[in-house]
Structure 1
Amino acid sequence: MNIKALRAFRLTLHEGSIAKACEKLHLSQSAVSRLISSLENELHLELFHRKGRRLIPTPQALAFHKEAGRILDNLEEIRHIADQIRNDQIERLRVLTMPRIAPSLVSPTAQRFMSMQPDVHLILDVRTRRDAEQWLVGREYDLGIGVLPIEHPDIQTEVLLKVRAQALLPKGHHLLSKSSISAEDLSDEPVIALLPGLLLRTQLEDFFHSAGIQKNFSCDVASSQLACHLVADGAGITIADALTANIVDQSKVELRPIVPERWMSFGLLYPKHNELSEAGKRFVEYLKEDIQSLVGENTLVEGK
């Protein structure tokens, strides 16, 4: 694929006109137009509509840019990365984490790694569970940390800890008088769930189905963090884990374990056939040491 064509597409999209893209690319308008046309032919997509002197990106163009955004970002860094590698300036460690554990589990280890390994440049990205598979298989990252299980022939995993699923309730809720929460307890309560198809949504549906309850959720959200914030604001109840629930003001919420017991697994993801660098091994070592402090009634560390 022509890198110049990709750059022409991106600049035209951002600038809103070929003329402005031409200025930054130092090319003629006809040259930029040809690059965009060649990209459209290669992708079999219509990328722009003309409206007077303006170019309006099509829905296909926006969708392509959204999905290919990371690749396009990396294209801009290729020369800089090559210079650093050639000059042996710095070692890089690319770590991918999932949103649910980025603040509570990964951030403390990242801070420790940065202080202990100042000669290594840490690149820490946050991706959804679905996206994580794609980026790891594509070797975009050296190491992933997130929710398990993930079953992919090109990804190997290692469970680090299991956290008990709990109901997160707003302070003062009448169910806080109970030491544990069942599906029956929540049958008439407003429950906030993740979007259909997400792992935690599937687990939540199974929790109610196993109790013979057809539950209509009060709200579907895209992330566990948002669900927890809604609980803190008094919008309802959600099922989460202590790692995720810690992101909200603890003076506004309380946790109660659900029954029967259900556990959520978190761990490491590696691209298969890709040897982890010494920097990556040190990051994993720090992460495993930090996890030891999480051992408790509702958290089990593997191997302990």
Structure 2
Amino acid sequence: MITPRQIEAFRAVMLTRSMTGAARILSVTQSAVSKIMHELEDELGFVLFSRRKGGLEPTPEAHALYMEVRKSFLGLDKIARAAQRIRAGRQGRLRIVSVPALTTGFLQKVVRVFLESGHRVEITLDTYNNEEVVDLVALGHADIGITMTPIDSYAVNVSPVMTAPCVCLLPHGHRLAAKERISLEDLRGEPFISLAENTTTRIRIDAAFRAANIARAGGLEARWSASVAAFVAQGLGVAIIEPFTARAHAHCGYVIRPLKQKIEFSFAEVTPKQSIQSTIARDFLDCFRQEVAAFQA
């Protein structure tokens, strides 16, 4: 019968590629590890390692076995992290995924406010595109997703749509910086830095300029708002982006002005469909909505 000790030793040898390295990890002698490996091979009925210069070479059978062993240890590692959270008095874990527009500073502020309110929780925040956010939440790899509309609600729960008005970015010293509000007419003929064509925000910006019969002087385009803002900071043109990135990068060297015409940035929360939302997730989303409200005025 295969024993946990044999599996532990096998994993150590796979990680270090040597009996000596495995012995150090397990705090036993090299001969003890070698003996355990021989016993495991006898039990399995196939060879796990062949000797080569500088260490051991796992056989194809060893690699196949290690794939299964690794899954088991990932589960054990998850249990160990949970135990560590319990010892530290933490309430749980919150996995958040979002589109880049909200991870350049805004969601980090939400996390700070949330933790300062007394919640003791482990939080991970990762950045993905729209489709990836929805997929990760649907598969249960994230507890909360923030993504731009439109959103396919087949596999996830989708909150009511939230909006925030886009703003105009101008390089420091630009002639329009003296204005309190910028109209689309003001931007006629200005070098304009655009978002990528396949984003909802870009589609709305294009529609607003078409409706006003205003042609832009283009030339530069970037997929993410942060990249667009960086171009403006270099004095390469003006732009219209969502307010979250604009405020987060305001120190980089541009002026933010509201637009006379309203162009909305729309987004929503997505949560797993087949699971009950935790109290921690609900509390975080309440905090998120409170912070969003400051951008909707």
TM-score normalised by the chain length of structure 2:
0.67
Q: Match of 2:119?
A: 117
Which amino acid is the alignment partner of residue 144 of structure 2? L
Q: Distance in 1 between matches of 2:71 and 2:101?
A: 25
Q: 1:21 to 1:111 in 2, by over 3 A?
A: same
Kept in 1, the 8 Å contact 2:191–2:216? The answer is no
Pairing 1:143–2:137 present:
no
Q: 1:136 to 1:111 in 2, by over 3 A?
A: same
What 5-or-longer segments of structure 1 have no aligned partner?
A: 1-19, 40-72
Q: Match of 1:241?
A: 242
Which amino acid is the alignment partner of residue 77 of structure 2? H
Q: What fraction of aligned residue pairs are identical, expressed as a percent?
A: 21
Which amino acid is the alignment partner of residue 93 of structure 1? L
Q: 1:207 to 1:31 in 2, by over 3 A?
A: farther
RMSD of aligned C-alpha atoms? Answer: 3.5
Q: Match of 1:272?
A: 273
User: SS at the partner of 2:100?
Assistant: coil
Pairing 1:208–2:205 present:
no
Which amino acid is the alignment partner of residue 23 of structure 1? R
Q: 1:291 to 1:166 in 2, by over 3 A?
A: closer
Which amino acid is the alignment partner of residue 145 of structure 2? G
Q: Distance in 2 between matches of 1:138 and 1:259?
A: 41
- 51, 74, 77: which is aligned to 1:80? 77
Question: 1:225: how far off?
Answer: 0.9
User: SS at the partner of 2:228?
Assistant: helix
Question: 1:203: how far off?
Answer: 2.4
Which amino acid is the alignment partner of residue 239 of structure 1? I
Kept in 2, the 8 Å contact 1:164–1:241? The answer is yes
Q: Choose 100-109 or 22-31, whichever is displaced more.
A: 22-31
Which amino acid is the alignment partner of residue 232 of structure 2? V
What 5-or-longer segments of structure 2 have no aligned partner?
A: 1-13, 23-47, 51-56
Question: 1:205: how far off?
Answer: 2.4
1:23-42 to 2 correspondence within 5 Å?
23=17, 27-28=49-50, 29=57, 31-32=59-60
Q: Match of 1:64?
A: none
Q: 1:204 to 1:21 in 2, by over 3 A?
A: farther
Q: Distance in 2 between matches of 1:27 and 1:111?
A: 49
Q: Match of 1:154?
A: 155
1:159-174 to 2 correspondence within 5 Å?
159=160, 161-174=162-175
User: SS at the partner of 2:289?
Assistant: helix
Q: Match of 1:101?
A: 102
Pairing 1:225–2:226 present:
yes
Q: 1:32 to 1:215 in 2, by over 3 A?
A: farther
Q: 1:35 to 1:174 in 2, by over 3 A?
A: same
Kept in 2, the 8 Å contact 1:232–1:248? The answer is no
Question: 1:159: how far off?
Answer: 4.0
Kept in 2, the 8 Å contact 1:160–1:288? The answer is no
Question: 1:76: how far off?
Answer: 7.6
Q: 1:160 to 1:283 in 2, by over 3 A?
A: farther
